[in-house]
Structure 1
Amino acid sequence: MKYNILGSSSKGNSIIVEDILCLDFGISYTKIKDYLSKVKLIFISHIHKDHLNPAAIKQLAYNFPNMKFLTGSKAVVGRLVELHVSKKNIFYIDTSKGNNWFDLGLISVKLEPLAHDVENYCLHFDIHGKKGIYIVDTNNVDNINAKNYDLFLVENNYQESVLKRHIQECVDEGQLRYLNRVPHTHLSAEKANTFLIENMGSNSEFCYIHQSSYNFEGEDYNGNI
């Protein structure tokens, strides 16, 4: 499956898949505007600004008033409406009624909740018969099943040993608060790799996303995000 990472960090997140699916909208409008004419659906995982950029959403709503959105978060729905997205263009999935697939035409989707400090969801998607999964900002993937999917876009934020060392060495109270928060809100390399090993098939492709250059060392760091 074709994908284009426009941003994948605390500064902003957005990935375009097969030209028609946008995964989060946390970057500037200028950076993403050239891709929007082909996009059919925008998925918002959660309400944090690096995944839902208010200024960019407001400009999008003005320039593309019929753009469709998908989310499992009521907070996201409310924020989108505040930013002038028409409620009729927001497809809200209540996962408390089951984790079911929904056929939206060109794209079929399924949401599952993820542990974070706000309501957050991963997205399973099927485009032209090929399946993918998008997982970001969570501390575990214990109950997620994506056997033999074609594309895995999975957070690989930090290495547990590196983070532990940084916590032990840290003397700045503000930085220490942030570091102590990381294991509760982000996925470690160890957990990400276990998930990939358990779910990938022989033809699967994966990409690590939302990696921290500070809490990551070695060749598995993508370096471009």
Structure 2
Amino acid sequence: MIPYRIVSTGSQGNAVVINTTVLIDCGVPYKAIEPYVRGLKLVLLTHIHSDHFRPSTLRRLANERPLLRFACCRWLVSDLVAAGVPTHSIDVLESGTMYGYGICNVIPVPLVHNVPNCGYKIHFPAGKVFYATDTNNLNGIVARHYDLYMVEANYEDEIIKAKIAEKKAAGEYAYEVHAMRNHLSKAKCDDFIYRNIGPGGEYVYLHCHVDEEGDGCAVS
């Protein structure tokens, strides 16, 4: 089993520490990740939305840990520099290419969102991890027999469709339409996991949709 810690997931902020050494996403205050900072070797970033990319936390991370590596695809480089991370600490990654970091190998995979975004395949000596959030689908992505899948399961199709219909009938704006266009349903998540997971594999649902009205998570 690969150890992990979900520091935060969802619209309030996203940050996951895997194997004590890799931080994926950094959309939380520094205080939230402070207990893990000393053990980090690598920070993997996915996209620019503020719940995944918090400039003040990234800046402090770079200041506190000058040798820490920050890795991202090309679309985040200028924002990472603007946040205060030195260019010499940034690794620019290309989707589909494997990068070796000693502690693990990393492969970015393209995701479908309303801004450029990626997920990650991370290969540790002890096992393989697949991470993906904020995407409409996982079409064309294969991650067979990985040991840990950390995948968005944002909403149940029937529940969110009923909510949209209810709001449209009442002449109200249905922000849930945005969730369906830009996030992964539990059904799509489950389909991907079941097609890829092998014996002994583990999966974790991430980024659960919460209604503005306070109705709670749409995924059981």
* Band the TM-score falls in, shorter-chain normalisation: over 0.9
Deviations along 1:114-143, one digit per CA (max 9) or x if unpaired, are 000111001000112410100000000011
Structure 2 residue identity aligned to 1:50? D
- 1:34 corresponds in structure 2 to 35
Structure 2: which 5+ residue stretches go unaligned?
A: none
SS of the residue 1:79 aligns to: helix
**Paired residue secondary structure (2:61):** helix
Q: Is the 8 A contact 1:41 1:67 kept in 2?
A: yes
Kindly report which structure 2 residues correspond to 1:127-138, keeping only aligned pairs within 5 A, or say none: 127-138=124-135
Q: 1:121 aligns with which of 96, 111, 118?
A: 118
Displacement of 1:23: 0.8
Moved more, 192-201 or 207-216: 207-216
Say which of 163, 166, 171 aligns to 1:169. Answer: 166
Cα distance in 2 between the residues matched to 1:200 and 1:105: 25
Amino acid of the structure 1 residue aligned with 2:86: S
Query: SS of the residue aligned with 2:15?
Result: strand
Q: TM-score, normalised by structure 1?
A: 0.90
Q: Is the 8 A contact 1:153 1:207 kept in 2?
A: yes
Unaligned runs of 5+ in 1: none
% identical equivalent positions? 30
Equivalence for 1:101: 98
- Map residues 70-85 of structure 1 onto 2, 5 A cutoff: 70-72=71-73, 74-85=74-85
Count residues with an aligned counterpart: 213
Q: CA deviation at 1:66?
A: 2.3
How much does 1:205 deviate?
0.4
The equivalent of 2:144 in structure 1 is 147
More deviation in 75-84 or 149-158?
Answer: 75-84
Look up the match of 1:20.
Answer: 21
Residue 172 of structure 1 and its aligned partner are, at CA, apart by 6.8
Distance 1:101 1:57 in 2: 24
Letter in 1 for 2:162: R
For residues 138 and 122 of structure 1, the distance between their equivalents in structure 2, rounded to whole angstroms, comes to 9
Q: Distance in 1 between matches of 2:56 and 2:98?
A: 31
Q: Which residue of 1 aligns with 2:3?
A: 2
1:180-195 correspondence to structure 2 within 5 Å: 180-195=177-192
TM-score calculated relative to the size of structure 2: 0.92
- Deviation per CA, 1:77-110: give whole Å up to 9, x if none: 1111011111111111123xxx122211111010
The answer for the alignment partner of 1:207 in structure 2 is 204
RMSD of equivalent CA atoms: 1.5
In 2, distance between residues paired with 1:37 and 1:59?
13
Equivalence for 2:57: 56
Q: Distance in 2 between matches of 1:46 and 1:101?
A: 19
Cα distance in 2 for residues equivalent to 1:123 and 1:135: 7
Mean Cα deviation higher: 191-200 or 76-85? 76-85
Instruction: Name the CA distance, whole Å, in 1 between partners of 2:82 and 2:138.
Output: 32
